[in-house]
Structure 1
Amino acid sequence: MEFREKQAIYLQIAEYVCEQILLKQWPLEAKILSIRDLAVTMQVNPNTVQRSYDFLQQREIISNKRGVGYFVEAEAMARVMAFRKEQFLENELPVFLRSMYLLDIPMEEIEIRYEKYIDETFKEKKYED
């Protein structure tokens, strides 16, 4: 995984975990990768993944069953969506809207491109739901 410079790596790993949950790659109440396994996958120090998992546990997105491993919480989907929406609306949307304004991009063009993106990127997901 390529990490962005402007955000802590542990937060980017937490975003990755959240994305896996949103994409239903990691089902609710399912066991997830161990700290070591995710560290190897992400090519980071296990302490960084531990920090990510601690962060997600505080938000009740994952839980640790001692001696068994980490699991996705039953209410994780709603919690991830709420957390990610808050992050997006506070951090990313203002930058996006500023660019729209400065570049004089009409909302209609954004709507068209958004629909096209969804159709091309998530068309398999439509048939799975």
Structure 2
Amino acid sequence: MEFNDNKAIYIQIAEHICEHIMLGTWKAEEKLPSVRELAVQLEVNPNTVMRTYDLLQQKNIIANKRGVGLFVTKESLQHVQTYRKSIFLEEELPQLFRNIYLLDISLEELKTRYQGFIDENFK
């Protein structure tokens, strides 16, 4: 995973985990890698992964089963979508709208390109 400088690393890792849940790579009630395992895999400090896991627990996306480890919750998909949707609508969409306006991109062109993206990547 490559990190960028515009967001905290623990948030980027949380988004990475959320994406895996939305894509079905990590399913409900599936065990997550330990803090150390994920830290080694992503080449980050274990404290960073711990911070990520804390955030995801607060959002009810993952849960700790004492003595066993961390697991994806049953309702994780709904919680991930709510969490990611709020971030998108509050932070990313205004910038996207700004670019659409400045570049004079029509809604029809957006619709056509969006449909092409869906057809190419998800069908």
Q: In 2, distance between residues paired with 1:36 and 1:81?
A: 27
Q: In 2, distance between residues paired with 1:8 and 1:37?
A: 20
State percent identity of aligned pairs.
56
SS of the residue aligned with 2:91?
Answer: helix
Q: TM-score, normalised by structure 1?
A: 0.93
Q: In 1, distance between residues paired with 2:117 and 2:42?
A: 27
Match of 1:94 in 2: 94
1:5-53 Cα deviation digits (max 9, x unpaired): 1100000000011011000100001111111111112111111000000
1:46 and 2:46 equivalent?
yes
SS of the residue aligned with 1:60?
Answer: coil
Alignment of 1:1-129 (within 5 A): 1-123=1-123
Q: In 1, distance between residues paired with 2:23 and 2:16?
A: 10
Q: In 2, distance between residues paired with 1:116 and 1:39?
A: 37
Cα drift, residue 97 of structure 1: 0.4
- Counting matched residue pairs gives 123
Aligned-residue CA RMSD (Å): 0.7
